[in-house]
Amino acid sequence: MWLLSAYRADSHAAWADWVVESRPDLKWTRRELPGRHFSWRIRGNPLSWLDALPEHTPDLILATSMVDLATLRGLHPRLAQVPAWYYFHENQFAYPVSPRQVRSVEPQMVQLYGALAAQRLLFNSAWNRDSFLQGVAALLRKMPDAVPAGVTERLSHACEILPVPVPPLAPEARDPRLILWNHRWEYDKQPELFTRAMLALARRGVDFRLALLGPRPEPVPRALATLRAALPGRIVADGRVDRAEYRRLLARAGVVVSTTRHEFQGVSMLEAVSAGACPLVPDALCYPEQYPAAFRYPVGDEDALVGRLAHWLTNGLPMAPDVSDWLAPALTSRWQALLTPPF
């Protein structure tokens, strides 16, 4: 069995490692490319692997949606009849574009062709599936002619929801006033909104502490620099830490906050919530599938975000929601059944 991942970033890497470790009885062949140079990776992976694929023909190909599966099959005709399952960690139809980027149809077409070349399409959330199918339909409506009928219907019949299994964390002695940020400090996660909310919370005189985790680019993002300058006494952790310390901080946190513009599953949020942290998330994306309304605020509404945090920190936190359906104990059997021959 081949596992192909063209972008070994943090969450993709954790998924690939878990899948292989969950079925040690299978003979795996892995090909992965580093999680950098996105535009080259999503378009160039068949060329990168041109002479790097094994000579044997596998029984099954499990490929992420960063893999240009259609081109790969074309360059290696012996793979044309091999069953292929396409796993969507994300989809390029719903991924926000940076102000520094020019939107290109190329990544979308790679995923559309890849989906058409696969037998099963696996998504980590219903939001991921729905936004992909809606994006395909919207793209094809823009085309001038020669568009076949029923493309989205054909794809929808192959779709299944199968989240990335999140290993649960054991709770520790909780600090109910510890607010956790464990996301990338980049445009799509909107750290500026988080920073403004933390400054507003401090102006209200609310007692809280901050754990500022997650990858950060160089130079230091303005949102992070502002928090460091304005609230140095409240910051108890700042930076990427080793896995043991990361898990410890997640298990201690009282609240974990998201301000993101996109989220297809939200693994980092689920990790913290599995240990008992209260999530506060935008009322959009994958979050309505995961968290009751009491843990969601209107998208982009800074006042609502600050008001909910102030209420919780002043009057006591609610009980964290049950996310067991998204955790490894509930999902392991489904993944193992999926990966049981015959394919």
Which domains does the chain possess?
A: 2-165+328-338 (3.40.50), 175-325 (3.40.50.2000)
Rama region for 239: left / alpha / beta (φ>0; ψ in -120 to 50; rest): left
The closest of 280, 310, 315 to 295, measured between CA atoms, is 280
Structure tokens at 261: 């513009």
Q: List all residues 6 or more positions away from 3 whose beta carbon is below 8 Å from its beta carbon.
A: 16, 19, 20, 28, 29, 30, 31, 32, 62, 63
**What mean pLDDT do residues 189-202 have?**
98
The letter for the amino acid at 165 is P
By CB atoms closer than 10 A (0-12, 13-18, 19+), residue 114 is: buried
Q: Is a pLDDT exceeding 80 seen at residue 98?
A: no
For the chain, counts of helices (H) and of strands (E): 13, 12
The per-residue pLDDT for 101 is: 57
The per-residue pLDDT for 96 is: 80
Give the helix/strand (H/E) hosting 209.
Answer: strand 209-212
Band of the pLDDT at 129, cuts 50, 70, 90? very high
The per-residue pLDDT for 111 is: 98
Assess contact for 59 and 1: CB atoms under 8 A: yes
Assess contact for 85 and 63: CB atoms under 8 A: yes
pLDDT digits over 34-47, tens only? 999 999 999 999 99
How distant is the alpha carbon of residue 296 from its chain centre? 18
Assess contact for 99 and 187: CB atoms under 8 A: yes
The per-residue pLDDT for 95 is: 85
Band of the pLDDT at 343, cuts 50, 70, 90? confident
- Angle between helix 222-230 and helix 191-203 axes, rounded to 10 deg: 20
109-to-5, 71, 76, 98, 250 alpha-carbon distances in Å: 18, 11, 20, 19, 38
**What mean pLDDT do residues 68-93 have?**
97
DSSP percent split of the chain into helix, strand, coil, nearest 5: 45, 15, 40
Assess contact for 108 and 139: CB atoms under 8 A: yes
- Give CA–CA dist 309/303, Å, rounded: 10
The closest of 89, 99, 95, 126 to 108, measured between CA atoms, is 95
Give this prediction's pTM: 0.95
Please name the residue that has the structure tokens 């309304």.
293
Q: Is a pLDDT exceeding 80 seen at residue 317?
A: yes
pLDDT digits over 140-175, tens only? 999 999 999 999 999 999 999 999 999 999 989 999
Q: What is the CA radius of gyration of the chain?
A: 21
36-to-23, 39, 75, 190 alpha-carbon distances in Å: 28, 9, 24, 21
